[in-house]
Amino acid sequence: MIDISVRSILTNLNLTINKNEFVLIMGENGSGKTTLFNTISGYIRSESGNIIMDGMDITNFPQHIRASLISNVFQDPKSGTIANMTIRENFNMSYMRGKRRKLNLSNSVERDALYKERLKILNMNLENRLGEYVGNLSGGQRQALSIVMSMISDSKLLLLDEITAALDQRASDNILQLVKKSIKMKKKTCIMITHDAKHLSLVGDRLFILQNGNLKEANSHNV
């Protein structure tokens, strides 16, 4: 459950999401979509209201504590990965989110096996390129990697911020199919910001329109 107010952007916004539900949010530029995600993630503090997750009030949790509960994939494929680090090193960083650092285990055989298993779902042969720098990958490959990395932790909520906006149509369709498959496999609760109401029929359970600081439930036929 989310019940928050942030400055003059979000006003008494209320949203209740069921476990394992996939919710889509649409809205015009400047409507507060990214502000909503930043508030849920803890980068912005709400002025009032509460954010409840599995019965736990996380409203006053700092961002680094919420990192173990909430994973993010951003619009720009370059934002979710570090170019001058290898695929393995990027995975290590995601794996350790919210955990105590144990650098001596960062390149373990067991962890490599886990990464390869998760990467096979992409059908991009990235499981055989763990030592390659991420900067050598295409935009679609980096976004796909970001999504798989977001699934590696035990987070309860996944936030996807217009993850197909920077991709061509083919890459966009592939990413959405990957999201659908991964969400179902890992049983994640997900909120995705999108600019395309057709995504409701492809991956979503419910669609909300963010306007004037509030959310209104809609469907693809009345957007």
| Domains detected in the chain | 2-218 (3.40.50.300)
Does the pLDDT at position 7 exceed 90?
no
pLDDT at 206 over 70: yes
What per-residue confidence (pLDDT) applies to 19? Answer: 87
- In this structure, are residues 39 and 220 in contact, taking their beta carbons and an 8 Å threshold? no
Q: 70-73 and 2-6 as β-strands: parallel, antiparallel, unpaired?
A: unpaired
pLDDT computed for residue 6 by the predictor: 60
Q: Is 127 a residue whose pLDDT tops 80?
A: yes
d(CA 206, CA 146): 24
Contacts of 19 (CB under 8 A, 6+ apart): 54, 189
pLDDT confidence tier of residue 4, bands split at 50, 70 and 90:
low
Position 193, amino acid: I
pLDDT in tens, 34-73: 889 999 999 988 888 889 888 889 998 998 889 888 999 9
* H-run or E-run covering 89: helix 87-95
pLDDT of residue 137: 95
Residues paired with residue 215 on neighbouring β-strands, in sequence order: 210
pTM of the model: 0.85
Return the H-helix or E-strand segment holding 185.
helix 169-186
Query: What is the pLDDT, as a whole number, of residue 54?
Result: 84
Residues 187, 195 contacting (CB under 8 angstroms): no
